[in-house]
Amino acid sequence: MKRLHGFFAFVALVAMLPVLFPDNYFVTVVGVTIGFNIVLAVALNLFIGYAGQISLGHAAFFGMGAYASAILTTRYGWSPWLAMGVGLLAVYIIATLISRPILKLKGHYLAMATLGFGIIVNIIMVQTVDWTGGPDGMSGIPGLEIFGWAVDSDLRWYGVIAVVMLLTVLVSLNIIDSRAGRALRAVHGSEIAAQTMGVDTVRTKSQVFVFSACLASLVGSLFAHQQNFVSPVSFDFFVSIEIVTMVVLGGMASTFGAVFGAIVLTLLPQVLVVFDDYEILILGAILVSIMIFLPQGLFVGMTQGGANLLRRLRNRETPARAGADG
């Protein structure tokens, strides 16, 4: 259970925030946005960070889930849960179908293919006005109800998203420490070596891609019900890039790195609005300095730095070595 200590500390933090600050905008409103982003980043981190692949089109799956829920509930009057399930199934099928051909590609080519996929899906959202409402989006999406308990306030949404988010983090932590997780890391290290060890690399990559897409779809459905509105801008290329940035900023191949990246990248713009016109300038400067001084990512860099510092304090005779191997 020792490996889950960090997780339990995180659960305690997430549970305590709304108790301490029940009406705080940064907890109940920004917190929900952070929750969405954590799920997306943690899911993508499995594919990018652990399996060492790249996807620049992940917002497409997020959007598909959202639009499936939006269209089925508003135009056909389906129950939100049924719509969410159908959206999930659709994304599962689509992701499975495209994963085989797309994952034969590597590096830049994989980046281009996923990028193209994301843009095509976004164009469909913009152009099929009769279905999606086009660029102006769709409104009137009903809220969510869990066994008669209406999720109708920011605080309640915080609770729902917190549970989904924590489950995602827990699943991610467990996958990494399972056989599948070791296979993923083997694929990351060297595909040929992994194959000689008996890992079905194509299947492994495809599984994690589809799993990550399904999580994005699920959170997309929740997003549609929470916002009561969807439009293509929320699922465009820049959103895909933002999720990748969260993973890289926090630190690749670290679940809590992705969590941390999502928190920082969602919270910073909200905090920096007080600087008005200089907001983007300061945000850019912060991101650039993080990448220069902590190239492994914020979370990974800081924890490693902390560990190194401890080690250096313990055995002072070899301070230079300890610092260099981080």
Partner 1 sequence: MAKQRFVSGLAAGLVGMALVAAPLQAAETIKVGTFLAVTGPASFLGDPELKTLQMYVDEINAEGGLMGRQIELVHYDSGANPKKAVDFVKRLIQRDKVDVIVGGSASGETMAVTPQVEKAGIPFISLAGSIKIVQPVKKWVFKTPHTDRMAAAKIYEDMNKRGIKKVALISGSGGFDKSGRAQSLDLAPEYGITIVADETYGSKDTDMTAQLTKIRATDAEAILNFGFGTGPAIVTKNIRQLGITVPVYQSHGVASKKYIELAGDAANGVRLPASALLVADKLPDSDPQKAVLMVYKTKYEAKHGSVSTFGGHAYDGLFIALEAIVRAGSTDKAKVRAEIEKTRGFIGTGGVFNMSAEDHLGLDLGAFKMLEIKNGDWTLVN
Nearest to 47 by CA among 174, 181, 170: 181
Question: SS3 for 38-65, per residue?
Answer: HHHHHHHHHHHHHCCCCCCCHHHHHHHH
The partner residues of 230 in beta bridges, in order of sequence, read 138
In the stretch 30-69, what mask flags binding to partner 1 with x, by CB under 8 A?
x--x------------------------------------
Whole-number Å distance between alpha carbons of 139 and 18: 29
In the stretch 220-259, what mask flags binding to partner 1 with x, by CB under 8 A?
-------xxx-x-xx-------------------------
The partner residues of 146 in beta bridges, in order of sequence, read 149
Q: Tell me: does residue 279 bind partner 1 (CB under 8 A).
A: yes
Of 280-299, binders to partner 1 (CB under 8 A) are 280
Query: What is the helix, strand, coil percentage profile of the chain, to 5?
Result: 80, 5, 15
Q: At what angle do helices 279-293 and 237-250 cross, to 10 degrees?
A: 40
Contact pick of 19, 20, 23, 198 for partner 1 (by CB under 8 A): 23
Of 153-182, binders to partner 1 (CB under 8 A) are 154
Whole-number Å distance between alpha carbons of 175 and 161: 21
Contact pick of 96, 174, 270, 304 for partner 1 (by CB under 8 A): 270
Instruction: Give least dist CB 86 to partner 1, A.
Output: 24
Q: Is the dihedral of CA 13, 45, 261, 226 positive or negative?
A: negative
Instruction: Give least dist CB 228 to partner 1, A.
Output: 4
CA Rg, the chain, in Å? 20
Q: Among residues 174 and 270, whose Cβ is nearest to partner 1?
A: 270
Contact pick of 126, 267, 268, 286 for partner 1 (by CB under 8 A): 126
Q: Among residues 226 and 296, whose Cβ is nearest to partner 1?
A: 226
Instruction: Give least dist CB 27 to partner 1, A.
Output: 11
Q: Among residues 195 and 270, whose Cβ is nearest to partner 1?
A: 270
Q: Find out whether 185 and 267 touch, Cβ atoms under 8 Å.
A: no
Chain positions contacting partner 1, by CB under 8 A: 23, 25, 29-30, 33, 126-127, 129, 134-137, 139, 154, 227-229, 231, 233-234, 270, 273, 279-280
